């Protein structure tokens, strides 16, 4: 069975440039179309000449009613998906829409400009482009996700970005969920994504086909309002002390599967991280995580440590 061995190896080596498939971008962004009208979109972790994010927004520029599209490239200008970013000059691209009526982003309609630095999203010139954007859409490096998200929040940007669900637990990230400043999008089929990878040494057990890597638990993070966020969770379970054990080190019951959340329990419940894909802030209050709230920083049941939990309770 495919696993996350490749992803973990990539993270340790800081090799986490995984290119998102166009089909996955289309499946997610179809839910956000109304947000893009009249807006400037920035894709600031993309090689514009091969990025499927640039492809999606450029070819849908008029249909979405965009005002402007900006993408930045880190180092490499080569139109080769598997280039190793060896060029000295980074670039940024600007597209303002179709000018000749063929509804296609032709090369002479795309402004290509050099960057002074290496195109790092943290550089002064890339931050300057960020300030000009309304919405950021990209797949940032997983190893830099904390820093990347913090920058978006600092500059008050709206965004739809790819990340691993484990990032929910980060101490810099989870408070944003509690404050309803961040939530999950619609996600990938089967809670896993197949990404185009240029690192043959990390695409081992997780290979889907040549040049691709399977990453379990990957999802979309956003702060754009979407209907999914307000879909009501329907409980088909009633509380029973025989079915829901209590934690040894915290006053709450353990719910091992989101589908088993009891509808009649008024106290605190520990649920898996996958619950966040079903979280409706009108129905549930988030108390915290087992890391932040529990002695020893983890949940224990009958002396055994179990997986980290999100602590919730029903709103009355």
Task: For 134-154, write each residue's pLDDT tens digit.
Answer: 999 999 988 999 999 999 999
What is the rounded CA–CA span in Å between residue 142 and residue 122? 15
Higher pLDDT residue, 299 or 113? Answer: 299
The pLDDT of residue 4: 39
pLDDT value at residue 198: 59
Does residue 237 have a pLDDT over 80? Answer: yes
Q: What is the 3-state secondary structure (H, E, C) of 83-105?
A: CCCCCCCCEEEEECCCCCCCCCC
Residues for the chain: how many in total?
316
Average pLDDT over residues 279-285: 97
| pLDDT score of 36 more than 50 | yes
Its pTM stands at 0.86
**What is the distance between the alpha carbons of residues 58 and 23, in angstroms, rounded to a whole number?**
15
Sequence-distant (6+) residues with CB within 8 A of 109 are 95, 96, 97, 98, 99, 100
Residue 208 pLDDT: 54
Average pLDDT of the segment spanning 207-229: 86
């Amino acid at each position: 069975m495919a696993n996350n061995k490749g992803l973990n190896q990539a993270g340790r080596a800081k090799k986490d440039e995984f290119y998102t498939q166009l089909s996955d971008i289309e499946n997610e962004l179809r839910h956000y179309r109304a947000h893009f009208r009249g807006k400037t979109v920035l894709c600031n972790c993309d090689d514009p000449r091969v990025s499927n994010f640039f492809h999606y927004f450029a070819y849908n520029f008029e249909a979405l009613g965009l005002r402007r599209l900006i993408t930045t490239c880190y180092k490499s200008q080569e139109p080769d998906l598997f280039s190793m970013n060896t060029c000295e000059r980074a670039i940024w691209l600007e597209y303002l829409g179709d000018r000749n009526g063929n509804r296609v982003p032709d090369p002479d309609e795309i402004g290509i400009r050099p960057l002074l630095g290496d195109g790092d999203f943290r550089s002064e010139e890339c931050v300057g482009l960020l300030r000009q954007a309304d919405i950021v859409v990209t797949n940032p490096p997983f190893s830099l996700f904390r820093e990347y998200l913090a920058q978006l929040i600092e500059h008050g940007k709206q965004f739809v970005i790819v990340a691993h669900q484990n990032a929910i637990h980060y101490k810099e990230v989870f408070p944003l969920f509690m404050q309803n400043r961040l939530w999950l999008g619609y996600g990938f089929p089967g809670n896993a994504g197949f990404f185009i990878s240029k690192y043959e040494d990390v695409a081992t057990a997780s290979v889907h086909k040549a040049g691709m890597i399977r990453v379990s638990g990957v999802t979309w993070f956003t702060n754009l309002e979407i209907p999914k966020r307000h879909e009501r969770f329907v409980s088909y379970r009633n509380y029973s002390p025989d079915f829901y054990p209590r934690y040894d080190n915290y006053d709450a019951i353990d719910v091992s599967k989101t589908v088993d959340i009891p509808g009649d329990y008024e106290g605190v419940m520990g649920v898996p991280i996958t619950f966040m894909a079903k979280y409706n802030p009108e129905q549930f209050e988030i108390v915290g995580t087992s890391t932040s709230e529990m002695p020893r920083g983890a949940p224990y049941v009958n002396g055994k440590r179990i997986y980290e939990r999100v602590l919730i309770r029903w709103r009355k």
